[in-house]
Copies of this chain bind each other. A is one copy, B any other.
Amino acid sequence: MTLWTARAAHRAWLDAEARRLVDFAAAADHPEHGFAWLDGSGAPLPEQGVHTWITCRVTHVAALAHLEGIPGASALADHGLRALAGPLRDPEHDGWFTALDSRGTVADSRKEAYQHAFVLLAAASATVAGRPGARELLDAAAAVIEQRFWEEETGRCRESWDAAWHADEPYRGANSNMHLVEAFLAAFDATGDRVWAERALRIAHFFVHEVAAPRDWRLPEHFTPDWQVVADYNTDDRAHPFRPYGVTVGHVLEWARLLVHVEAALPDPPSWLLADAEAMFAAAVARGWSVDGTEGFVYTLDYDDTPVVRSRMHWVVAEAISAAAVLGQRTGDERYEHWYRTWWDHAATYFVDTVQGSWHHELDPTLAPPPGGTWSGKPDVYHAYQATRLPLLPLAPSLAGALATVG
């Protein structure tokens, strides 16, 4: 079987889609600071203000695009770095705000691990891309994370604090820790400092090997401050955009891929990493793909595998493609190629929006774009962009690291 990634036309399609996504994100260039929330047509929504995670994702993507030789991307990355070194950073208590309002004043001053993970990721990618101020930002973010979020005794991270770091939230989450794994791996690639790879391994070991494995890979997302599972968290707000109830299929797929990146970061990786990665992937596909009568991934599952929120999210498909690409490369198992093709076909048929750009972010269970679902507009290019790059990159701890090694 000739892999799609060995076909010139497929590689050219991926490159063209990557360019299309970067061009779409470039429109989010907020006049003063960072990147705006984009609506379905790619027009900025100033009233949405500036969200740190969006600014970081565009900065990260732009840094990777610059590494790849996409003219103009560096300006985007630098624009993002200035916002992260400027208005998005708390001059008084350090760390990064969660969001600014449309006038540029702080709208949400909480200090969240999730946002800090993306600051570190953006800074690391921009550092590998050689952008001015990136390494300083990386070191500053790393210091805040080490001091405020990282728990050396448990090997995991806290969730969030008030602006002045007085009280940390009585909640622990798999989602923020997952993105911290991603960010730590990028920090390792950018700095060569092994501690980041070891911390990534420790986080992954807890959430996947300790918590998900005994639950037959049904990864709980929500925990108490002493790391007990809170199975019924958000049972009354099951479609919460960041903390949905139950098992999040897209995260199980994302963890599956991240375990392979962790493996690539370690000189002597434990064997459970690949084994758990393949098991997580298989569980997510068996329980999440086309299980409710229509093609597509359901968003969340209950602990008995019944679909809970059946909306089809673009980032889940993007993560599935990325996981299939990475696991296919790692194992050579042709079943991953089958899924890789199936999900690119699915993405191209239903999500890729060739009329207004980027991807529809959310489709209803019948795969028709809903007027306004959990996700309104198209604020994100990071998941889709990575899905176009990972298939063409060698296995590495991070995309920036892989791009730096590619001839």
CB–CB A72/B349 < 8 A: yes
Q: For A65, list chain B residues within 8 Å (CB).
A: 9
CB–CB B407/A71 < 8 A: no
CB–CB B12/A75 < 8 A: no
CB–CB A18/B23 < 8 A: no
Given contacts A2-B407, A74-B345, A407-B2, contact A68 B352 (CB under 8 A): no
Q: Give Cα A50 to B7, complex, Å.
A: 33
If A9-B69, A13-B71, A73-B345 are given as contacts, then 8 extra A-B residue pairs at C-beta distance below 8 Å, sorted by A number, are A2-B407, A8-B15, A10-B68, A13-B19, A13-B69, A74-B345, A75-B345, A75-B349
Q: Give Cα A87 to B42, complex, Å.
A: 40
Contact with B along A54-98 (1 / 0, CB 8 A): 000000000001101111111100000000000000000000000
CB distance from A328 to the nearest CB of B (A): 13
CB–CB B10/A70 < 8 A: yes
CB–CB A2/B406 < 8 A: yes
Q: Which of A6, A13, A347 has the most CB of B within 10 A?
A: A13
Check A291 for interface membership: any CB of B closer than 8 A.
no
Q: Give Cα A125 to B50, complex, Å.
A: 50
Copies in the complex: 2
CB–CB A19/B12 < 8 A: yes
Q: For A349, list chain B residues within 8 Å (CB).
A: 71-72, 75
CB–CB B348/A68 < 8 A: no
Q: Give Cα A349 to B65, complex, Å.
A: 14
Q: Give Cα A392 to B11, complex, Å.
A: 15
Check A303 for interface membership: any CB of B closer than 8 A.
no
- Among B13, B66, B407, contact of A70 (Cβ-Cβ < 8 Å): B13
CB distance from A324 to the nearest CB of B (A): 13
Q: For A69, list chain B residues within 8 Å (CB).
A: 4-5, 7, 9-11, 13, 341, 344
